[in-house]
Amino acid sequence: MSDVFELRPGKGPLLISAPHVGTSLPDEIAARLTVPGHALVDTDWHADRLYPFATSLGASVLRARQSRYVVDLNRDPSGATLYPGARTTGLCATETFEGDALYEPGTEPGVQEIAARRERYFDPYHAALREELARLRAEHGFALLLDAHSIWSPLPLLFEGELPQVNVGTNSGASCDRRLVDAILGIVKPSQYSVVVDGRFKGGYITRHYGDPADRVHAIQIEINQTTYLADGSRSLWDDAKAARLSHVLRTACEALLVAALPAQP
């Protein structure tokens, strides 16, 4: 069993990736973290649990075990920023989304440690992601990647005001066919949840790197405002009733995605 990821292969063409749900910290990293670092405040808390229907839809599920503070699986490993001009974090973050230091002074990871973390944690997750997408495309003629995220809101250093409740990212339309976006909007817009496409979040490295409609791989990031499913007043506690309402909409959206992603018949 890998300590980097958990993969549950499915029989259908959909792969749900959850790269920021991990909460494990290697001892040598944990020993250097500040209080906010140990609190794992920027975790995508329970984002994978919002898709309890994955198995019944035949979807594969890939989820990270390690915290994003070990290595961020959704950042460009070259160090290139995903959002030029906007505040963001790197492959190995040194501060939280609210600007608090993650490491005790003088213990931040250097170039060699970052390279080692990439090899130890980043590369295996992405190898599993590539292999599973290749398998799905070979078996079904196409693959559909849903990169599942969630984030607290508001976060003034990252965006102004309150984030919409469902944020769809498609790298400005480059990572998937437009009919998939329309399928999601057709379900979410009439629901109780606000939705935006390619707003503050256009999709991270995973969506941008693997989405290639011309090569029959469609990738979409769904970033959920955590207030839609966490207990009122909490930044990490699951709320069964709120989550069930959201999961119902997400299931219907995934069903619509699967239909929309089917190759056009000659």
Asked, for residue 266, whether it belongs to a domain, the answer is: no
29 within some domain = yes
What are the Cα distances from residue 188, in Å, to 183, 214, 256? Answer: 9, 26, 11
For residue 98, give the CATH number of its domain: 3.40.630.40
The distance in angstroms from the start CA to the end CA of the chain is 43
pLDDT value of position 131: 98
Report which residue type is found at 263: P
* 4 vs 18: CA distance, rounded Å: 12
Measuring CA to CA, which residue among 263, 219, 228 is closest to residue 249? 228
Would residue 126 count as lying in a domain? yes
Which residue range forms the structural domain that includes residue 31?
5-260
Q: In the prediction, which pLDDT does 82 show?
A: 84
User: CA–CA separation, 180 vs 131, rounded Å?
Assistant: 23
Tell me how long the chain is.
266
What's the CA angle centered on 54, arms 228 and 250, to 5 degrees? 30
The answer to whether residue 155 sits within a structural domain is yes
Q: Which of 146, 152, 143, 256 is nearest to 207 (CA)?
A: 146
Q: What total number of domains does the chain contain?
A: 1
Q: What is the dihedral of CA 109, 111, 115, 116, to 10 degrees?
A: -50
* pLDDT at res. 160: 85
Distance (Å) of CA 5 to CA 53, 55, 113, 186, 240: 20, 18, 20, 33, 25
Domain assignment present for residue 265? The answer is no
Pairwise CA distance, residues 229 & 50, whole Å:
9
Spatial distance between the Cα atoms of 6 and 171, rounded to a whole number of angstroms: 26
**Structural domain includes residue 255:** yes
- Give domain status of residue 132, yes or no: yes
Q: pLDDT 10s digit of each residue in the chain, 266 long?
A: 899 999 999 999 999 999 999 999 999 999 999 999 999 999 999 999 999 999 999 999 999 999 999 999 999 999 888 888 777 889 999 999 999 999 999 999 999 999 999 999 999 999 999 999 999 999 999 999 999 999 999 998 888 889 999 999 999 999 999 999 999 999 999 999 999 999 999 999 999 999 999 999 999 999 999 999 999 999 999 999 999 999 999 999 999 999 999 876 55
Q: What is the pLDDT of residue 79?
A: 86
- Examine residue 135 and state whether it is found in any structural domain, yes or no: yes
Is residue 260 within 8 A of residue 182, CB to CB? The reply is yes
Give this prediction's pTM: 0.96
